Structure 1
């Protein structure tokens, strides 16, 4: 069995790490490079950077932050937000990212997934998905930071991106995001049961047992969180020790 990963996520807007609830009520948390350095020290398995308004504002990714972070952080770095073309992927990787996360653009231009995987390898292409429940065992895909419902069935989209060559999925529950009431277990389980590529659970972590629960009840290979780590309610090391104590294999 692959060891489970614990991944801090840093949402960046205007050069600052920010956090909100259900994509609203955003407040500043701190400097992205300093935050990444701290998580590196805590033993994070990876760090994810999202430029949360790049797609909505129609601009490219924040390569200066990526470059500065890559010089100081020595765990895999995933960068998302504003990745629109193969050249954007190339520039992000050149700046020091190990992977890119494509979300809105992947929905609007699925060929980007295939082209990116063909040129750079599937391991470089993570597809981020923001999804919201619309009925029992049914979810729909949103883009632009949870602002626009695309009317695409979540499971259908998962099948599509796997066929196109994506190496990983980062699945975020809009319903759970920032609520700290736990990961969206039904949605995560449905996706994990319907694909063979790694799935990162995102949205809703509120207490240490939530990490154990998501690994115990779903096939997620990693758990991502923001608020808990940003506001120092938990450290990455504490989460790993707790999961290890419960019998979960972590890195």
Structure 2
């Protein structure tokens, strides 16, 4: 059995790490380079770095900042935000990223997934999906542009299409749970796990140790991503791993 991964997320805007609730009300957390180095020391398995304002500001992810972060960490680094071409992917991979995450651009042009996978390999291409439950349609609806624009896409169907095009991993955020600390949306990840056979990273809702245990015991996800509980020192990576080991969940 592959070890489950614990992954802090750095949402960056204006050069600083930010955190909000349900994708809004962002507050400043601190310097991304220093925070990344701290997570390296704590034993994080990977780090996700999302330039959350790049797409809406129609600019590219800051490669210089990626270089600074990658110089501080020696774990896999996934970079997302403002990536809209294979050239953007190449620039960030050269800056130190191990994987690139695409969201809005992939929805706008699904062929970008295939083009990236063909050039860099499936393992480099992470499709990020921001999803919220639509009670009227009885489906998880995909949102783009940092959660600001609703699409007509069903998240489960889009996940299957993304994998068919070459996505090697899915990073799926429950917008309903984002920043709420109410626990991961287990129904979402159970449905995704039944639909695709690539690694899935669960994001949105981590509030305590029991939430990490639940998402690994009750859904087939491969990694759990969290931000605020780690940023504000409510939990450490080692706290989470110890709790998981006690519940016989295999971690590094």
Question: TM class by shorter-chain length?
Answer: over 0.9
The equivalent residue for 1:14 is 14
Tell me what 2:56 maps to.
Answer: 56
* Count of aligned pairs: 251
Structure-to-structure mapping, 1:29-108, within 5 angstroms: 29-108=29-108
Q: Which residue of 1 aligns with 2:226?
A: 225
The aligned runs of 1:177-196 (5 Å cut-off) are 177-196=178-197
- Which SS does the other structure have where 2:55 is aligned? helix
Deviations 1:223-249 (A, max 9, x none): 000000000000001100110111000
Distance 1:29 1:69 in 2: 16
Residue 2 (structure 1) shift? 0.9
Matched, 1:130 2:105: no
Partner of 2:247: 246
Matches of 1:153 and 1:73, distance apart in 2? 36
Q: SS of 2:171's equivalent?
A: strand
Matches within 5 A, 1:141-180: 141-180=142-181
Partner Cα distance (2:209, 2:157) in 1: 32
Return the offset for 1:137.
Answer: 5.6
Counterparts of 1:56 and 1:30, CA distance in 2: 22
Deviating above 6 A after TM superposition, structure 1's stretches of 4 or more consecutive aligned residues are none
Which runs of no fewer than 5 residues in structure 2 stay unpaired? none
State the shift of 1:156 in Å: 1.0
Give, in whole Å, the separation in 2 of the partners of 1:158 and 1:67: 30
Deviation per CA, 1:193-223, whole angstroms, max 9, x where unpaired?
1100000000010011100000000000000
Distance in 2 of aligned mates of 1:137 and 1:182: 21
| In structure 1, C-alpha distance between the alignment counterparts of 2:245 and 2:55, rounded to whole Å | 38
TM-score normalised over the length of structure 2: 0.98
- Give deviations 1:130-175, integer Å, cap 9, x for gaps: 0010138611100001100111011110110010010000000010
Deviation at 1:65, TM superposition (A): 1.1
Once the two structures are overlaid, the 10-residue window that deviates more, 238-247 or 132-141, is 132-141
Consecutive unaligned residues of structure 1, counting only runs of 5 or more, are none
Alpha-carbon offset, residue 37 of structure 1? 0.2
Distance in 2 of aligned mates of 1:127 and 1:94: 19
